[in-house]
Copies of this chain bind each other. A is one copy, B any other.
Amino acid sequence: MTTSERLIESTRELLWERGYVGTSPKAILERAGAGQGSMYHHFKGKPDLALAAIRRTAEELRAGAAGVLHGPGTPYERIEAYLTREREVLRGCPIGRLTMDPDVVASEELREPVDETLDWLREQLAGIVEEGKEQGQFGPELDGEAIAATVVATVQGGYVLARASGSPADFDAGVRGLLGLLAPRSAV
């Protein structure tokens, strides 16, 4: 790995573990095993490096979610697959957690990839709910965009529950509740 790559990967890890506010340039250099000057050689500074790291994490998250959301199955099954796919629940969401970071939220540049990723996710889910309505799997009264927001919120809030208790089962409980409410009428 090049130094620039090592810096980006170390920043991604630290942002996930400690957030932006909790990640010092010194900690990044130490983890990357890089010298003092190398950050400023490759990047304009911590915000610039963080932006590269966040963008890469966002791309990965999107690719992973797309595989499930646009995979096989009925609309309900694809939403179920998204909600129950394997996650490192106790680590939280590497993108969503950044919204609790005051310096990320205060920076339009750093917030942008976070906002775009969650928006993209909601659009995909809203499309799937609409598909399910057309197929009669979901009731016509359901609001696709609102349900999509609920699905993403349940995942993001599920991380909060699990990290509070230290148990992934609390993430699963929120997902189970939502799936029970979403269950196709024909299956009840």
Contact = CB atoms under 8 A, between A and B. Distances in A.
A91 B170 CA distance: 24
B102 A18 contact: yes
Contacts of A154: 150, 153-154, 157
Interface string A157-188: 11111011110001001111110111000001
7 contacts: A18-B21, A19-B19, A92-B100, A111-B164, A149-B173, A153-B174, A157-B157
B180 A141 contact: yes
Copy tally for this chain in the complex stands at: 2
Contact of A147 (B102, B122, B142, B180): B180
Contact of A100 (B142, B148, B163): B163
B163 A105 contact: yes
Interface stretch (A2-10, A29-37, A63-71, A112-120): A112-120
Nearest to A162: B99
Interface of A: 17-19, 21-22, 92, 96-97, 99-102, 105, 111, 114-115, 118-119, 122, 139, 141-143, 145-161, 163-166, 170, 173-178, 180-182, 188
Contacts of A99: 92, 159-160, 163-164
Contacts of A149: 158, 161, 170, 173-174, 176-177
Contacts of A181: 142, 147, 150, 178, 181-182
Nearest to A176: B146
